[in-house]
Amino acid sequence: MTDAEFGYVTPENLSLFTDRYELTMLQGYHAAGHEPRATFSLFFRDLPPDRGYVVAAGLEQVVDYVETLSFGERALDHLAERGFEADFLDRLADFEFSGELRALPEGTPVFPDEPLLEVTGPIFEAQLLETLLINQVAFQSLVATKAARMAEAVDRHGDDQSLVDFGSRRAHGTDAGMKAARAAYVGGVDGTSNVAAGEAFDLPTYGTMAHSWVQSFPSERASFEAFVEEYGDDSVLLVDTYDTVEGARLAMDVADEYDAKVGVRLDSGDLVALSTAVVDVVDGDIFVSSGIDEYKIARFLQEGGVATGFGPGTSLTTSRDAPSLDAVYKLVAVEEDGEMRPSMKLSAGKTTYPGAKSVRRIAGDDGPERDVLALRGEDGSGEELLVTVFADGERVYDLPGLDAIQDRTRERRRRLPHGCRDLRDPASYRVDVSDDLQAATDDLAAELRE
C-alpha cells in the first residue's frame, strides 16, 4: 500500500491538508483578481474547563509547514481530478509564502482573545494556512497545558517527582501521538515512552515492562530474574500482576540476588495504600501509573502516597477532561485603496476584535499582573509577547530547542498569579483591552450595523 492509502501526511500531500473551502475561495480570489493583503489572527475565545491559562505550543511545526509548503505533481493531479481549473493549478504550482507571521514563542501562557499567531500577506497565501495552523497549534497547546498542570501538581504537593508520557497508544492516531509527546515535553514532562517521538524530537525515552512479560514466565520470580539479568540497575519491575506487596518483596529479593538497584511500578489498585505498603520494602524508585492526571497526582500526594515518578497516559495525550481548544483563524484587517483597514465579525457570540494586535504583559512585584490587548503599533508599557517569525516570506526568528522551550514554560508558569494556576476553579487572569482597540471596535461595529 502507498503512504496515501495508509492515510499518512507526507511532504508530497501536505499542501492538501486543508479544507476544500479554502481552495474554493483561493480559486475564486484568483478568478476575480481579488488580491488584497490581509491579516488573520489565530486565537481562542474561552479557556477550556478548569484552565486558568493555555500554554502556546506547535510553532515549530507551523514554521516547517510555511517553509516547505508547495504543490507538487501529486497534489496538482489530485486537484485537477476534483475539478479545479488549469490556470488556478498553474498558480498553485508557483505557490510560495511571501508574507509576515508573528507569534507567541512556545511555552508562553496565553489567554482568551490574545493571538497565538497572526499572518499578514496576500489573501491568497494567508487564507490557505488556516486549517493546518489551527490543527497544529490548538492540539499541541492543549497537551502542553495538560502537562504543565501535572507539573503544577508536583510543584505544589510533591518532591520533584518525574513525569513520563505513557499515552501514545491511546492518542487519536500516530501523528497525534507524536505531537502529543512533543507538546507534553514542552509542558513539563521528563520524557516519553514513544520511541519514534524520541527519535524525531530528540526526547528522552523511558519504559518498564508489561504484565504480559510477567505472565509469560513460569513464575513471577523467573520473570523478574530474566529482566534484571538483562537490564541490571535500569530495571523497573511491574509488581502488581498478582499480589502487589508480595511482588514488591519478590522484586527486592531478586535485586539482592543480582546486586542491582531495582525500582518498581504500581499500575492498579489503591495506589496510595499500596505505595505506602511497599515503601518500606522497596529500596529503589516507585513509579506510579494507572489513569494518572493532575487531579489524581495532587490527591495521591495529599493523601500521603509515595512515588518518585508518575506515568500519565490517556488523560495527557487526549487532554481528556478538556479535549478541545476552540481556536479560530479570523480575518482582522484587509487592504483597501492601498491601506490596511480593520475588519471584524458581528455574529452573536462570535464578535472579534479588529486589526493586527499587540499583546503586552505588565509585570508586578511578584510576576505578571495583567496583559493588555492593543492595536499593533500602539504605544504602551510592558513586555511585547508577539515576535516576528517571518518577514517578506523569509524566516527571521531562530527556533529554540525543546529544552529551552520547556524551561520557558516552567519559568513563565511559575510566575503567573497563584490563583490562576489552581487545578480547580482557577482565578481569572486580568486581560485589559486598550482604549484605542476598544474605540476601534466600537466605531467599526457601529459602521457595520449601519
What pLDDT does residue 450 have?
Answer: 84
For residues 140 and 182, the answer to whether their CB atoms sit within 8 Å is yes
Cβ atoms within 10 Å, residue 363: 13
Residue 8 banded pLDDT, cuts 50, 70, 90:
confident
Taking the CA atoms of 43, 330, 390 and 394 in sequence, report the sign of the dihedral they define: positive
Q: Give backbone dihedrals phi and psi of 365, rounded to 5 degrees, phi first.
A: -70, -35
pLDDT(59) > 60? yes
Residue with cell 498478582: 242
Q: Which residue has the higher pLDDT, 94 or 348?
A: 94
Of 18-27, 150-159, 201-210, 340-349, give the lowest mean pLDDT range.
340-349
pLDDT(5) > 60? no
Q: Which residues are CB-contacts of 297 (< 8 A; sequence separation ≥ 6)?
A: 150, 153, 154, 157, 158, 161, 310, 312
What pLDDT does residue 320 have?
Answer: 96
pLDDT, tens only, 214-249 = 999 999 999 999 999 999 999 999 999 999 999 999
Residue 347 banded pLDDT, cuts 50, 70, 90:
confident
Residue 350 banded pLDDT, cuts 50, 70, 90:
confident
pLDDT, tens only, 253-274 = 999 999 999 999 999 999 999 9
Whole-number percent of the chain with pLDDT over 90: 94
Domains of the chain, start order: 3-142+324-449 (3.20.140.10), 147-317 (3.20.20.70)
Amino acid at 155: D
Residue 4 banded pLDDT, cuts 50, 70, 90:
low
Average pLDDT score over residue span 302-317: 98
What pLDDT does residue 170 have?
Answer: 94
Q: Which residues are CB-contacts of 316 (< 8 A; sequence separation ≥ 6)?
A: 143, 146, 147, 150, 165, 166, 167, 180, 184, 189, 293
Average pLDDT score over residue span 74-96: 97
Residue 89 banded pLDDT, cuts 50, 70, 90:
very high
Residue 7 banded pLDDT, cuts 50, 70, 90:
confident
pTM of the model: 0.97
Q: Which residues are CB-contacts of 309 (< 8 A; sequence separation ≥ 6)?
A: 161, 162, 163, 164, 190, 285, 286, 287, 288
Residue 2 banded pLDDT, cuts 50, 70, 90:
low
What pLDDT does residue 6 have?
Answer: 64
CA–chain centroid gap for 399, Å, is 16
pLDDT, tens only, 405-427 = 999 999 999 999 999 999 999 99
Of 5-14, 21-30, 168-177, give the lowest mean pLDDT range.
5-14
Residue with cell 474554493: 24
pLDDT, tens only, 31-47 = 999 999 999 999 999 99
Cβ atoms within 10 Å, residue 32: 8
What pLDDT does residue 3 have?
Answer: 60
What pLDDT does residue 367 have?
Answer: 93
What pLDDT does residue 293 have?
Answer: 98
Cβ atoms within 10 Å, residue 209: 17
Average pLDDT score over residue span 284-309: 97
d(CA 248, CA 286): 10
Residue with cell 501538581: 153
